[in-house]
């Protein structure tokens, strides 16, 4: 059986993407949670993950003796291994577009990532209001998301970005949780999409796991001193 190594569900956006993809697509896998203690070389996390992949990071998908690291590589591997699941859109143009926006997510949106770290358990609307006021990079990233998602939902008719659930929705699921945690302003059609993503069984299961962890890691918490 496939094994997916992940970090804390409350804090690990990169882990969330392949986990949601596997769960939502109905692909059987075993999860191995390696909780963050620190990212120092002598931390339990780094010692454990260094025995799994050369990057010593999560997520890592292990298939028999083969390890696949990096979220985008994992998604591509799953699409190849399970073609019947149609994880990418079937239309060539749509598929190319889906790959483009996933690559954009993979390397971009640095303002949103830096200033709005994923924190599923938290509710930080007051922080979000200050970030929206003071951080142009956050506003620009959200405006790009609104432009992107609005165009795709209009073109493909929803309910997901390319009609049915795909890798693209899994890639943006952590972004949807950030938008909710920080209550960033969204037009209603985009807020509706964010809610639909939260209601996907795979996403709902991840969120349930995040809420059950009860961990508080100060190095992952720039805005709170405690839960």
The reply to whether 42 falls in a domain is: yes
Q: Which domain holds residue 80?
A: 2-84
Q: What's the average model confidence in pLDDT over 30-59?
A: 96
Task: Return d(Cα 145, Cα 139) in angstroms, integer.
Answer: 10
Span 166-212, pLDDT tens digits: 999 999 999 999 999 999 999 999 999 999 999 999 999 999 999 99
The reply to whether 227 falls in a domain is: no
Residues 118 and 47 occupy one common structural domain:
no
The reply to whether 221 falls in a domain is: no
Q: What is the percentage of the chain residues whose pLDDT exceeds 70?
A: 100
User: How many Å separate Cα 110 from the centre of its chain?
Assistant: 14
Residue 60 structure tokens: 């890592």
Residues 76 and 176 occupy one common structural domain:
no
pLDDT score recorded for residue 79: 98
pLDDT score recorded for residue 68: 98
Residues 152 and 177 occupy one common structural domain:
yes
The reply to whether 223 falls in a domain is: no
| Number of residues assigned to the chain | 227
Categorize the per-residue pLDDT at 87 as very low, low, confident or very high, splitting at 50, 70 and 90: very high
The two most distant CA atoms of the chain are separated, in Å, by: 50
Domain boundary among 52, 84, 116: 84
Q: Mean pLDDT for the chain?
A: 97
The reply to whether 220 falls in a domain is: no
| Distance linking the first and last C-alpha atoms of the chain | 36
Q: What is the CATH number of the domain that holds 18?
A: 3.40.30.10
The reply to whether 178 falls in a domain is: yes
Residues 121 and 154 occupy one common structural domain:
yes
Residues 116 and 172 occupy one common structural domain:
yes
The reply to whether 127 falls in a domain is: yes
Span 141-162, pLDDT tens digits: 999 999 999 999 999 999 999 9
Q: What's the average model confidence in pLDDT over 124-131?
A: 98
Residue 160 structure tokens: 């997901």
Categorize the per-residue pLDDT at 18 as very low, low, confident or very high, splitting at 50, 70 and 90: very high
Residues 40 and 144 occupy one common structural domain:
no
Residues 68 and 157 occupy one common structural domain:
no
Task: Return d(Cα 30, Cα 143) in angstroms, integer.
Answer: 37
Categorize the per-residue pLDDT at 39 as very low, low, confident or very high, splitting at 50, 70 and 90: very high
Categorize the per-residue pLDDT at 6 as very low, low, confident or very high, splitting at 50, 70 and 90: very high
Residues 6 and 39 occupy one common structural domain:
yes
Q: How many domains, in total, are found in the chain? A: 2
Q: What is the percentage of the chain residues whose pLDDT exceeds 90?
A: 100
Domain boundary among 65, 84, 103: 84
Task: Return d(Cα 95, Cα 162) in angstroms, integer.
Answer: 9
Residues 200 and 98 occupy one common structural domain:
yes
Mind giving me the DSSP string for the chain?
-EEEEE--TTT-HHHHHHHHHHHHHT--EEEEE---S--STTSHHHHHHHTT-TT--S-EEEETTEEEESHHHHHHHHHHH-GGG--S-SSHHHHHHHHHHHHHHHH--HHHHHHS---TT---HHHHHHHHHH-HHHHHHHHHHHHHHHHHHHHH-SSBTBBB--HHHHHHHHHHHHHHHTT----HHHHHHHHHHHHSHHHHHHHHHHHHH----GGG-SS-S--
Q: Give the pTM.
A: 0.97
The reply to whether 216 falls in a domain is: no
């Amino acid at each position: 059986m496939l094994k997916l190594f992940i970090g804390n569900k409350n804090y690990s956006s990169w882990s969330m993407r392949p986990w949601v993809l596997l769960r939502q697509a109905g692909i059987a896998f075993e999860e191995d949670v390696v909780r963050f203690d620190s990212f120092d070389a002598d931390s339990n996390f780094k010692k454990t993950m260094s025995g799994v992949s050369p990057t010593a990071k999560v997520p890592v998908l292990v298939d028999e003796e083969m390890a696949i690291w990096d979220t985008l590589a994992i998604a591509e591997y799953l699409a190849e291994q399970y073609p019947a699941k149609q994880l990418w859109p079937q239309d060539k143009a749509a598929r190319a577009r889906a790959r483009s926006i996933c690559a954009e997510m993979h390397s971009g949106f640095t303002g949103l990532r830096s200033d709005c770290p994923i924190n599923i358990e938290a509710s930080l609307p007051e922080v979000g209001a200050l970030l929206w006021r003071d951080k142009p990079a956050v506003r620009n990233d959200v405006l790009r998301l609104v432009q992107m998602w609005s165009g795709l939902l209009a073109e493909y008719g929803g309910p997901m970005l390319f009609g049915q659930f795909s890798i693209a929705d899994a890639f943006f699921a952590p972004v949807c949780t950030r938008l909710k945690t920080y209550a960033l302003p969204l037009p209603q059609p985009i807020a509706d999409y964010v809610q639909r993503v939260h209601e996907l069984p795979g996403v709902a299961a991840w969120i349930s796991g995040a809420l059950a962890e009860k961990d508080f890691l100060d190095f992952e918490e720039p805005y709170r001193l405690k839960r």
